[in-house]
């Protein structure tokens, strides 16, 4: 295990076929369940996840792994689909609230621009904020 300020990562527990590495951590381009299941329990303060906007992308076994690797006071932010894919917000919320405590729905306002062949880009993205336990730590850096 190596430490760099507040970032802690476990290099020795991962396969050698990493995608990219910096002094802050390692990026893997692999199945998320395969990689995340190798982390020890209660090792993350924060998880930010932007899964594909398909209902089956957030499976129960993935949610259980995320809960296991989160520290007791950890936060998790999950991006969800909007527009035609807004159903993920509802589906994922119902799954996640079984394991975590809901804190808020955050809207990220973006600039409008030309999209792909289907039309305009969306001007917002929705992010669900959950916490592992009701006793969480809010750290606001100045």
Domain assignments of the chain as residue spans, ordered by start: 1-30, 41-131
CB half-sphere exposure, 44, CA atoms < 13 A:
21
d(CA 80, CA 125) in angstroms, rounded, equals 7
Q: Output the pLDDT for position 134.
A: 84
Q: In the chain, pLDDT over 90 holds for what percent of residues?
A: 29
User: Chain-centre distance of CA 23, in angstroms?
Assistant: 21
CB half-sphere exposure, 106, CA atoms < 13 A:
12
d(CA 141, CA 10) in angstroms, rounded, equals 25
Inter-residue contact 42 to 71 (CB < 8 Å) = yes
Q: Which CATH class is domain 41-131?
A: alpha beta
Global confidence as pTM: 0.75
Q: What is the mean pLDDT of residues 124-132?
A: 92
Strand, coil or helix: 107: strand
């Amino acid at each position: 295990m190596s430490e760099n300020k507040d970032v802690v990562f476990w290099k020795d527990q991962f396969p050698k076929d990493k995608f990219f590495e910096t002094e802050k951590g390692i990026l893997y381009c692999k199945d998320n369940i395969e990689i995340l299941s190798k982390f020890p329990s209660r090792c993350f303060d924060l998880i930010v996840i932007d899964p594909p906007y398909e209902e089956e992308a957030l499976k129960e076994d993935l949610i259980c792994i995320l809960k296991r690797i989160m520290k007791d006071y950890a936060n998790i932010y999950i991006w969800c689909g909007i527009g035609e894919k807004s159903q993920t917000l509802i589906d994922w919320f119902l799954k996640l609230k079984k394991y975590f405590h809901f804190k808020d729905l955050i809207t990220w306002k973006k600039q409008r621009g030309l999209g792909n062949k289907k039309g305009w880009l969306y001007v917002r993205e929705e992010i669900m904020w959950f916490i592992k336990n009701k006793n969480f730590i809010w750290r606001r850096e100045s």
